[in-house]
Structure 1
Amino acid sequence: MPRPISDGFSYPAPTTDSEAARFLLQAQFSASTEEIAALRSSTYADWLSRQFNGHPGASGWDWLNDRGYAAVSNDTAYYDNSYPADYMIWYQLMKSTDGLRKRVALALSEICVVSTNGVDINWRCHAMAWYWDQLVNNAFGNYRSVLENVTLNAAMGYYLNTRGNQKENAATGRQPDENYAREVMQLMSIGLVELNLDGTPRLDGNGKPIDSYTMNDVTNLARVFTGYDYDQSQNVPITVPGTTRVVPNTTYTRLPMALNASRHSTLAATFLGATIPANTPGAAALKSALDTLFNHPNVGPFIGKQLIQRLVTSNPSPGYVARVASVFNNNGAGVRGDMRAVIMAILLDDEARSPAGLTQPTFGKLREPMLRFVQWGRTFGLNSARGTWKIGDLSDLGSRLGQSPLRSPSVFNFFRPGYVPPSTALATAGAVAPEFQLVNESSVGGYLNYMQGVIRNGIFVNAPELPNNASSSNNGYDIKASYANELAIAADADALLARINLLMCAGQLSAATVKLIADALKATPVTAASTDAVKLDRVAAAVFLVMASAEYLVQK
């Protein structure tokens, strides 16, 4: 058994509700008073163990099928549409009971990126659901499995061109496509430069960072990823009723891509100091290549630092990165890549738990818009009255969130881990702020305008009783927050604000901000006898003003 990863940490358990909420907001999407109380009576490590051993809940794939999205009809054409994938992922994030597992899976989806925008295949919604499900399945597993599942996934095969990638052909000049070989190194395993254990670049004799791979490494590694295509061995062709069109069934989207040996390169592949001999069978070549990537010394600090950035802080100290990378390299029982050990190391580290971070200007991170939205929904009882959860693509930055899960604009995610806002104090300090790459005049206004509407009124959808995108006489605000606990105390502006401050901000709003918001709320009198609409107006105003404040937007 691995040694208890909680050994040696200075903050084993929360001593206040605010400390408990702070931990929960790093580890999952939201915090409730019940979750805070349960954590207060336990330890951080025990809470994590319960999460690791909990049930993963319904899969995205099953959710689609349960709601009829595998039906073959020319009217709905689910086989050609991606919007069911949006409904699926929003439901997963808003309603799943395994918050830590889904939070880690979402972080992995921003490292190993496949975007719904770029998957143009039959049953793309199912392909994206299975991609998500594999990240969920591996969130508490091993990073080596993440790499293999991602590599052979049908959605990734289309997105980064491994599907149909063929060996070299001297007669035609064809060479293997290098897209996946490049990105699996650059983004999903080792990064661009050689790293020390603490995540700092290794330097050459001239003080310059050392490249972690060369163009020759890319060219050679690309040979390994040839010969793969969708596995149609379980395909049952279906003729769309009323047409002559034939579509496959959904199964191929969740089968690992199959190897066609005749299309696989037989040349030797030398990369990153390893050599796969000529004529190595494709499966053995793939295993060797992924083992080489997985065992590269960069992976622990490169992936570990990005997970720290997604969960805790944009600028972890070198010591923090080194401690997490060390656990990635060895979980205490000789196992490399143990995600459970890595997650515990990230969330229990003194740098994550110390109250000192609350007053350090460079500690913390900007909350991603989609995480703010999910936190709002989970905190205040968001529900779809008809159960269809028709929350669509919220990527539009002028009128919505400017971000939507599984819809990154490119393989480089919504933002780069090393992004520095130009001409800012952060840039002067040499600090990074990845999420600020999403921030501009349009996105700030779009977020505020969108949230102001949905906080008060809910989310307007067409035909909430139907799974498809049709319109009906039932169009309306099917998805609303209940605010049950908040409405009960709406007449007490101070109590209402204190509750929202704890649940949304872990109690981190300053006294000045609390007073500013409280004074604004009290300008409109509300009593126990006020109408439900008046009470809702106050609750919505309180939530909106908190979610618009800088002290909320920056998570400490």
Structure 2
Amino acid sequence: MPEPSPELEVDSTFANQAQTARFLTQATFGPKYDNIIKLTESSASAWLLAQFELPIDTHLSRIADYKSAAPNNEQNRYSSATTTFTFWTSAINGEDQLRQRMVFALSQLLVVSSNGGDVLHDVPEAVGLYLDILNEHAFGNYRDLLEAITFSPAMANYLTYLGNEKGDPTTGRVPDENYARELLQLFTIGLLALEMDGRLATNAQNEVIELYTNEDITGLAKVFTGLHLDFASADRRDDFFTQRTQLYARALAIYPENHSTLEKSFLGLTIPANTGARESINIALDHIMSQASVAPFVSRQLIQRFTTSHPSPQYIERVATAFEIGEFTLPDGRQIGDKRKGDLKATIAAILFDPDARNEALPETPVNVFGKIREPVIRFANWARAFDVENVTPEFTMPLWYTSGSGALGQHPIRPRSVFNFYRPGYIAPNSVSGEQALTVPELQIMNASTIPGFTNFMAWFVSGGHADLTEDEVNALQQAFDDESIAIDARNALNSFVANYDDELDLANDIDALLDRLDLLLTYDRMSLATKQHISDTISLIPLENDGPQLRVFLAIVMVLTSTDFVVQR
């Protein structure tokens, strides 16, 4: 970890263990105890810069490694789950934790989904390439990211512009408008004009301003014609499945004969007739990025994914300004960003180091307003990282193959039910305390009477090492399932997959206060309420220390923390 040079300003972000743990909770998939100790009293600015420079481990290469265990079966459950495997291993084991959190955040803004039985489910390379695009551009520029996803087979398939052709007045064919619509509505500017602080802009008559009409969508749709899979790159000697895999693992190609040569008018701009596809896309994306609403629209949603569900207007404006000018000054005085609008390094730094994010009690962000619900996916990863889970091998842990169900996490990475993500960014929960205050809390949209106990049961199974208790018959049944689909892996590995290390906690089983203090730092950055601590203490103290007593105390204490509001609500 590089140390700040003497001429730099003092960065006190990691002044104590609690502050360090809280920052890492916001910026990563969860702190590890050793990292908290190591980073405390060091420079958070230096940590951020080091995170920017860490190498990228590609999803496509690891998907190929996983699929080598089932080379003759392209569409079995195992093959379809390989992007899930690579996601979990990156989220839990990746050293580039900030990048991985940024990828997860961007995947919920620029949504594609492998939900359902279509090609994105059957050909994991499509989503693998998409995740690699997010990895590559996570700390780049939002404009460049938009271009990369435009040429992504996953996005083209999901938003139905794959093979999109120019209009034909003789047959009545018109270009597909799906991507054009979502590019504006969900990926860049939204429906209504915004001020830099995220509040709705109004005209001279104090009316909200609609940003586009259906004519704008029709004009923009012409831009995205002529894009299809790069068929020329496929080896015709390969079988259908191999060719399809190759095609979905490469950027789209342009087919000029299918691209509209008409004028393309949208958002006050007209691209002249006979402008080629590549140039039309560049002009269109540049023009969209120039719109005033992009910075607050994107910034607010990224803030929601990292620090708080209902950011103050002041917070949004500060982050949107960093996005707009492409620059941010770190606490140690160093500047980051290339001064281009859309710089994501400057944006994420502005989110994490903002006064609202670092201090709970500012007048503009009362304690009862600032914070967010930890998403179920993040909660699970928090546990795995906090307790140094060994053998992060989701391929042997079938409960992780599908976690969308209410009896599991109620959320599955890169598998929302629609392009609108798992939850709406403006969601206000009805009949709730937060709803009475008109607070947006998106994650509450997937929390209900089924998912709450489902999460508890899911985590209790993992925390207590339920996989290690599989019977011989259960292991044999799992092996038979693998054998039936010609998957060359040994089911006995399931017994050793996702094994948590509770040695330090077990040493404290006879000192409940010390045990809870450790869990408090590790999971709730010293913010666990006295009432929660007392409740857990009273409960686990009933477990005698004989036989498996210490283990049961630790298991129950961890599950009770993971399901407490002190943990679920990231303050």
One-letter amino acid of the structure 2 residue matched with residue 216 of structure 1? E
Q: Please tell me whether residue 553 in structure 1 is matched to residue 568 in structure 2.
A: yes
**Equivalent of 2:83, from 64, 82, 85?**
85
Quick one: structure 1 residues 168 and 387, their matched pair in 2 at CA, closer, same or farther if it must change by over 3 Å?
closer
- Residue 371 of structure 2 is matched in structure 1 by 364
- Residue 96 of structure 1 is matched in structure 2 by 94
Q: Please tell me whether residue 383 in structure 1 is matched to residue 382 in structure 2.
A: no
- Residue 499 of structure 1 is matched in structure 2 by 518
| The 10-residue stretch of structure 1 (492-501 or 453-462) with the greater mean CA deviation from structure 2 | 453-462
Give SS of 2:115's match. helix
Quick one: structure 1 residues 355 and 430, their matched pair in 2 at CA, closer, same or farther if it must change by over 3 Å?
closer
Q: Please tell me whether residue 311 in structure 1 is matched to residue 309 in structure 2.
A: no
Native 8 Å contact 1:455 1:543 kept in 2: yes
Q: Distance in 2 between matches of 1:153 and 1:119?
A: 19
Please state how far the C-alpha of 1:476 moved relative to its aligned partner.
Answer: 4.3
Quick one: structure 1 residues 246 and 189, their matched pair in 2 at CA, closer, same or farther if it must change by over 3 Å?
closer
Q: Distance in 2 between matches of 1:350 and 1:79?
A: 46
Q: Please tell me whether residue 341 in structure 1 is matched to residue 340 in structure 2.
A: no
One-letter amino acid of the structure 2 residue matched with residue 370 of structure 1? V
| The 10-residue stretch of structure 1 (305-314 or 455-464) with the greater mean CA deviation from structure 2 | 455-464
One-letter amino acid of the structure 1 residue matched with residue 17 of structure 2? D
- Residue 280 of structure 1 is matched in structure 2 by 275
Q: Distance in 2 between matches of 1:36 and 1:153?
A: 38
Quick one: structure 1 residues 364 and 80, their matched pair in 2 at CA, closer, same or farther if it must change by over 3 Å?
closer
Q: Distance in 2 between matches of 1:118 and 1:296?
A: 35
Give SS of 2:562's match. helix
Quick one: structure 1 residues 472 and 151, their matched pair in 2 at CA, closer, same or farther if it must change by over 3 Å?
same
| The 10-residue stretch of structure 1 (136-145 or 246-255) with the greater mean CA deviation from structure 2 | 246-255
**Equivalent of 2:448, from 440, 446, 449?**
440
Give SS of 1:67's match. helix
Native 8 Å contact 1:304 1:328 kept in 2: yes
| The 10-residue stretch of structure 1 (429-438 or 452-461) with the greater mean CA deviation from structure 2 | 452-461
Q: Deviations over 1:377-420 (max 9, x none)?
A: 11112233768454534444331010010010100000010000
Give SS of 2:265's match. strand
- Residue 380 of structure 2 is matched in structure 1 by 373
- Residue 121 of structure 1 is matched in structure 2 by 119
Please state how far the C-alpha of 1:280 moved relative to its aligned partner.
Answer: 0.3
- Residue 178 of structure 2 is matched in structure 1 by 179
Quick one: structure 1 residues 43 and 355, their matched pair in 2 at CA, closer, same or farther if it must change by over 3 Å?
farther
- Residue 500 of structure 2 is matched in structure 1 by 481
Please state how far the C-alpha of 1:120 moved relative to its aligned partner.
Answer: 2.3
Gaps (5+ residues) in structure 2?
Answer: 328-337
- Residue 23 of structure 2 is matched in structure 1 by 23
TM-score of the two chains, using structure 1 as the length reference: 0.91
Give SS of 1:203's match. coil
Gaps (5+ residues) in structure 1?
Answer: none
Q: Please tell me whether residue 66 in structure 1 is matched to residue 65 in structure 2.
A: yes
**Equivalent of 1:265, from 255, 260, 265?**
260
One-letter amino acid of the structure 1 residue matched with residue 246 of structure 2? T
- Counterparts of 1:218-297 in structure 2, within 5 Å, are 218-237=217-236, 247-248=242-243, 250-297=245-292
Q: Deviations over 1:314-368 (max 9, x none)?
A: 1111111111111111134532111111111110010000141796111100111
- Residue 553 of structure 2 is matched in structure 1 by 538
One-letter amino acid of the structure 1 residue matched with residue 514 of structure 2? A
**Structure 1 vs Structure 2 CA RMSD:** 2.7
Quick one: structure 1 residues 328 and 538, their matched pair in 2 at CA, closer, same or farther if it must change by over 3 Å?
same
Give SS of 1:64's match. helix
- Residue 202 of structure 1 is matched in structure 2 by 201
Q: Distance in 2 between matches of 1:12 and 1:44?
A: 8
One-letter amino acid of the structure 1 residue matched with residue 354 of structure 2? D
Q: Identity over the aligned pairs, expressed in percent?
A: 36
Q: Deviations over 1:414-465 (max 9, x none)?
A: 0010000012232232211111000111111211121111211245783499
Q: Please tell me whether residue 524 in structure 1 is matched to residue 543 in structure 2.
A: yes
- Residue 459 of structure 2 is matched in structure 1 by 451
One-letter amino acid of the structure 2 residue matched with residue 49 of structure 1? L
Native 8 Å contact 2:397 2:494 kept in 1: no
Native 8 Å contact 1:313 1:364 kept in 2: yes
One-letter amino acid of the structure 1 residue matched with residue 294 of structure 2? V
Q: Distance in 2 between matches of 1:468 and 1:326?
A: 54
Please state how far the C-alpha of 1:142 moved relative to its aligned partner.
Answer: 0.9
Give SS of 1:409's match. coil
Quick one: structure 1 residues 292 and 8, their matched pair in 2 at CA, closer, same or farther if it must change by over 3 Å?
farther
Native 8 Å contact 1:186 1:192 kept in 2: yes
Native 8 Å contact 1:508 1:551 kept in 2: yes
Q: Distance in 1 between matches of 2:69 and 2:143?
A: 31
One-letter amino acid of the structure 1 residue matched with residue 24 of structure 2? L
| The 10-residue stretch of structure 1 (517-526 or 198-207) with the greater mean CA deviation from structure 2 | 198-207
Please state how far the C-alpha of 1:119 moved relative to its aligned partner.
Answer: 7.1
Please state how far the C-alpha of 1:534 moved relative to its aligned partner.
Answer: 3.2
Give SS of 2:189's match. coil
Q: Distance in 2 between matches of 1:274 and 1:517?
A: 62
Q: Distance in 1 between matches of 2:218 and 2:268?
A: 14
- Residue 427 of structure 1 is matched in structure 2 by 435
Q: Distance in 1 between matches of 2:137 and 2:59?
A: 14
Quick one: structure 1 residues 229 and 473, their matched pair in 2 at CA, closer, same or farther if it must change by over 3 Å?
closer
Count of equivalent residues: 541
Q: Distance in 2 between matches of 1:79 and 1:554?
A: 34
Q: Distance in 1 between matches of 2:490 and 2:8?
A: 60
Q: Distance in 2 between matches of 1:432 and 1:174?
A: 41
Q: Distance in 2 between matches of 1:80 and 1:163?
A: 26
Q: Distance in 2 between matches of 1:226 and 1:426?
A: 44
Quick one: structure 1 residues 453 and 334, their matched pair in 2 at CA, closer, same or farther if it must change by over 3 Å?
closer
Q: Deviations over 1:288-319 (max 9, x none)?
A: 01111122111111111111110000111111
Quick one: structure 1 residues 468 and 196, their matched pair in 2 at CA, closer, same or farther if it must change by over 3 Å?
farther
Q: Distance in 1 between matches of 2:512 and 2:258?
A: 69
- Residue 332 of structure 2 is matched in structure 1 by none
One-letter amino acid of the structure 2 residue matched with residue 425 of structure 1? V
Native 8 Å contact 1:44 1:348 kept in 2: no
Give SS of 1:275's match. strand
Q: Distance in 1 between matches of 2:183 and 2:367?
A: 35
- Residue 333 of structure 2 is matched in structure 1 by none
